[in-house]
């Protein structure tokens, strides 16, 4: 394949990923808000997110086998079609049990689709370039999906139609270069026990990072509504959280080479504790204050995963980096399942309870990193 053809394929894969993340993120913000508006219990709202994460984790195990059986494009189009159909069925079947089941299907499809696109990008551009472009696309698409709710009636059918249309439209750019798609990813064989033995800090840190992300990702929209921000304020708060994570990328990358990942992980985790404490001690904040706090929260939240993956990779030099990354993603996914299940009942008791749990999780990661530094000496 020529360089021009490679560049064209990569550009189209980025477009496909943008559409997938846009539609999925729009839906991920919408459903908790609708659950809050319809006065369903916090446990049910947590299940909307936990079931999605469960589907995502399951996809990590089987996407390689499915792609080997069906072929790359057939797998992609099948998963995108199933996800788009499930998104539309959410509008027609507004029952909690159905929504929880459909969310698991959608999470499974997104997990498979993102694994395919990320694998194809790595095959064409290399791991570092693929990861950088992947993060940039995810950031912009996440912001667009979240903020688009300000232009739509969340109680109407338009958000569901837009979500379904975006996911289905992702098939088009992949179809245009279907003959140039790289081979299927290899089947995934996790060795979680071995990873924990090699790098307990990295493994449990990833689990903790996933738990924190699961709490805020699954319950953040409800938190915004409970805090009185309304739809517009809630979407701005979630956008600030994403932007905070994006801003953290540059200083974290700069400091990693100078002070080491363990020191940096300790500092980031303690920053997370510091950001949580105002919400634990005085949960009622003005709109601008909450938006700023959640931006700072994103600055502490988003680097956790990449730092833990980096620590584990260094402590397991004889294992393929792709295998380590997949196992870390699985641990992160397990955390995102647990997070909303624990956080939902706590949010029902009050905002301070939920952020108290998040602060304890940050503190455990920070203390673990500090202890490992001392042992290493």
pLDDT at 127 over 60: no
249: phi then psi, degrees, rounded to nearest 5: -60, -45
Judgement on whether residues 163 and 247 belong to the same structural domain of the protein: no
Residue 231 maps to a domain: yes
Per-residue pLDDT, 70: 86
208 & 151 share domain? no
Please indicate whether residue 67 or residue 205 has the higher confidence score (pLDDT).
Answer: 205
Asked whether residue 134 carries a pLDDT value surpassing 80, the answer given is: no
Which of 129, 155, 180 terminates a domain? The answer is 180
CB 307 within 8 A of CB 252: yes
Co-location of 175 and 226 in the same domain: no
Mark whether 108 and 247 lie in a shared domain: no
Question: 110 in a domain, yes or no?
Answer: yes
185 is a domain residue: no
Residue 106 and residue 127 in one domain: yes
- Residue 87 confidence (pLDDT) above 90: yes
Instruction: Mark whether 206 and 129 lie in a shared domain.
Output: no
Per-residue model confidence (pLDDT) at position 216: 93
208 & 175 share domain: no
- Expressed as residue numbers, the domain containing 327 is 192-376
281 and 352 in contact (C-beta within 8 Å)?
Answer: yes
* Same domain for 198 and 174: no
pLDDT for residue 122 is more than 70: no
- Structural domains of the chain, count: 2
Q: Does residue 341 sit within a domain?
A: yes
Position 373 scores a pLDDT of 62
Which of 180, 211, 242 is the last residue in one of the domains? 180
Out of 31-35, 36-40, 164-168, least confident range: 36-40
Structure confidence at residue 101 as a pLDDT band (50, 70, 90): very high
CATH number at residue 359: 1.20.1250.20
Report, as an integer, the average pLDDT of 80-102.
95
Residues 229 and 304 in one domain: yes
User: Is the confidence at residue 133, as pLDDT, over 70?
Assistant: no
Residue 20: count of CB within 10 angstroms of its CB: 25
- How far is the C-alpha of 355 from the C-alpha of 75, rounded, in Å? 40
Mean pLDDT of 103-108: 96
Confidence of residue 13 (pLDDT cuts 50, 70, 90): confident
124 and 215 both lie in a single domain: no
pLDDT for 139-154, tens place per residue?
A: 889 999 999 998 988 8
- 264 with 252: CB under 8 angstroms? yes
Mean of the pLDDT values across residues 317-329?
Answer: 72
Confidence of residue 321 (pLDDT cuts 50, 70, 90): low
pLDDT of 256 above 90: no
Instruction: Please give the mean pLDDT across all residues of the chain.
Output: 87
Determine which of 92-101, 279-288, 354-363 has the lowest per-residue pLDDT on average: 279-288
Confidence (pLDDT) at 369: 85
Tell me if 297 is assigned to some domain.
Answer: yes
Burial 73-90 (b: 16+ CB within 10 A, else e): bebbbebbebbbbbbbbb
Residue 186 lies inside a defined structural domain of this protein: no
Percentage of the chain surpassing pLDDT 70?
A: 90
**pLDDT at residue number 181:** 76
Higher pLDDT, 181 or 159: 159
pLDDT at 17 over 60: yes
Could you tell me if 227 and 370 lie in one domain? Answer: yes
Domain-embedded: residue 173: yes
What does the alpha-carbon distance between residue 227 and residue 246 come to, in Å, rounded to a whole number?
25
Q: Is the pLDDT of residue 356 over 70?
A: yes
Q: Mean pLDDT over residues 340-348, rounded?
A: 93
Query: Which of 104, 116, 110 is CA-nearest to residue 68?
Result: 116
Same domain, 64 and 132: yes
Residue 187 lies in a domain: no
- What is the arithmetic mean of pLDDT over 249-262? 82
Segment 297-311 mean pLDDT: 90
Q: Residue 250 is encoded by which pair of tokens?
A: 């540059």
pTM, rounded to two decimals = 0.86
Q: Which of 180, 208, 240 marks a domain boundary?
A: 180
């Amino acid at each position: 394949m020529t360089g021009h053809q490679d560049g064209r394929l990569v550009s189209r894969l980025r477009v496909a990923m943008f559409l997938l993340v846009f539609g999925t993120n729009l839906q991920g913000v919408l459903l908790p808000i609708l659950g809050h508006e319809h006065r369903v219990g916090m446990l049910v709202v947590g299940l909307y997110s936990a079931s999605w994460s469960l589907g995502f984790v399951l996809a990590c195990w089987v996407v390689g086998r499915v792609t080997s059986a069906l072929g790359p494009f057939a797998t992609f189009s099948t998963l995108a079609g199933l996800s788009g159909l499930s998104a539309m069925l959410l509008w027609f079947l507004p029952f909690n049990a159905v929504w929880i089941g459909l969310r698991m299907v959608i999470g499974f499809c997104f997990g498979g689709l993102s694994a395919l696109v990320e694998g194809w990008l790595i095959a064409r551009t290399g791991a570092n370039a693929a990861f950088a472009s992947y993060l940039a696309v995810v950031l912009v698409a996440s912001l667009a999906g979240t903020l688009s709710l300000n232009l739509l009636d969340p109680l109407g059918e338009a958000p569901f139609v837009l979500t379904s249309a975006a996911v289905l439209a992702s098939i088009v750019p992949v179809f245009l270069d279907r003959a140039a798609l790289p081979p299927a990813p290899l089947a995934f064989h996790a060795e979680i026990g071995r990873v924990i033995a090699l790098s307990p800090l990295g493994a449990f840190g990833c689990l903790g990072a996933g738990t924190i992300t699961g709490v805020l990702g699954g319950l953040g929209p409800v938190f915004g509504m409970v805090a009185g921000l309304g739809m517009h304020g809630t979407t701005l708060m979630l956008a600030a959280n994403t932007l905070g994570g994006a801003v953290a990328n540059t200083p974290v990358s700069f400091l990693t080479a100078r002070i080491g990942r363990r020191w940096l992980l300790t500092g980031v985790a303690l920053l997370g504790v510091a950001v949580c404490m105002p919400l634990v001690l005085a949960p009622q904040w003005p709109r601008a204050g909450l938006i700023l706090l959640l931006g700072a929260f994103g600055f502490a939240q988003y680097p956790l995963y990449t730092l833990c993956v980096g620590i584990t990779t260094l402590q397991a030099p004889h294992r393929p980096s792709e295998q380590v990354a997949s196992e870390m993603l699985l641990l992160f996914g397990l955390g995102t399942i647990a997070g909303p299940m624990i956080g939902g009942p706590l949010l029902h008791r009050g905002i301070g309870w939920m952020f108290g749990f998040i602060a304890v999780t940050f503190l455990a990661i920070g203390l673990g990193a500090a202890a490992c530094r001392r042992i290493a000496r």
